[in-house]
Amino acid sequence: MHDAGKVVAGIAVFAGLVTAPIWYQASVGGAVQPLDLSRDFPVVRPGAPGFEDLPADLALNPDGTPRECVEPTEFMRANHMAILDRWRDQVVREDVHDYRSTTGKTWPHLKLTGTCMKCHQKKAEFCDRCHDRAGEKPYCWDCHLDRVAGGR
């Protein structure tokens, strides 16, 4: 091979750059576990501390079943930001406060802080865990309070 020094150096730089994530994880990242989203959610269920503080219309469904989220979990994981965005526009610009979910149910009077965070009270544990991991920096809390009055 001719110009071996330069060529090998070039290939080494190239290989180093494209495999950088491997080295990064091996050194900086350490052992990374998949995020277990099934555990540790500070969701307030009937009987749990704080449940009583929730507004009555959110505490239980009209038929008495435990309170559920506006959309199924899988849908929320992918689409929550779109829903929040749409709510905001509807509330601010159109004075519409109800939400009709993909399951066909209508949810009245929705708010980020007042509704979502009533249940998902700990921003650090609920929101930030995923956002930080995915490198997302939503600007929700530029305006909204990140905790409900009286929340933890």
Partner 1 sequence: MKILVSLVLVVAAVFLALVLAGTGLRPLFGVALPYLAFATFLIGLAWRVVRWARSPVPFRIPTTCGQQKSLAFLPHSRLDNPFTGRQAFGRMVLEVLFFRSLFRNTTATLTRDGRLVYGSEKWLWAAGLAFHWSLLVIVLRHLRFFLEPVPGFVEVLQDVDGFFQVWVPVLYLTDLVIVAAMTFLFLRRVLLPQVRYISLANDYFPLFLLLGIALTGVLMRYFFKTDLAAVKDVALGLVTFRPTAPEAAGSLFYTHLFLVCVLLAYFPFSKLVHVAGVFLSPTRNLANNNRAERHVNPWNPEVKTHSYQEYEEEFHDLMKNAGYPLERE
Residues lying near partner 1 in the complex (CB under 8 A):
1-4, 7, 10-11, 14-15, 18-19, 21-22, 24-26, 28-29, 31-32, 34-35, 37, 74, 77-79, 81-82, 84-85, 130, 132-139
Q: Find the shortest distance in angstroms from Cβ 60 to partner 1.
A: 29
Residue 84 in contact with residue 141, Cβ under 8 Å?
no
Residue 94 in contact with residue 103, Cβ under 8 Å?
no
Identify which of residues 77 and 109 has a Cβ nearer to partner 1 in the complex: 77
Q: Find the shortest distance in angstroms from Cβ 148 to partner 1.
A: 22
Q: Find the shortest distance in angstroms from Cβ 71 to partner 1.
A: 12
Identify which of residues 21 and 64 has a Cβ nearer to partner 1 in the complex: 21
Identify which of residues 14 and 46 has a Cβ nearer to partner 1 in the complex: 14
**Among 37, 33, 17, residue whose Cα is nearest residue 80:** 37
Identify which of residues 67 and 90 has a Cβ nearer to partner 1 in the complex: 90
Residue 99 in contact with residue 70, Cβ under 8 Å?
yes
Q: In the block, which residue shows the tokens 């469904």?
A: 61
Identify which of residues 68 and 85 has a Cβ nearer to partner 1 in the complex: 85
For 60, the 3-state DSSP assignment is: strand
Q: Find the shortest distance in angstroms from Cβ 143 to partner 1.
A: 13
Cα separation, 72 vs 127, in Å, equals: 17
Q: Environment class of residue 152 by beta-carbon count within 10 Å: exposed (0-12), middle (13-18) or buried (19+)?
A: exposed
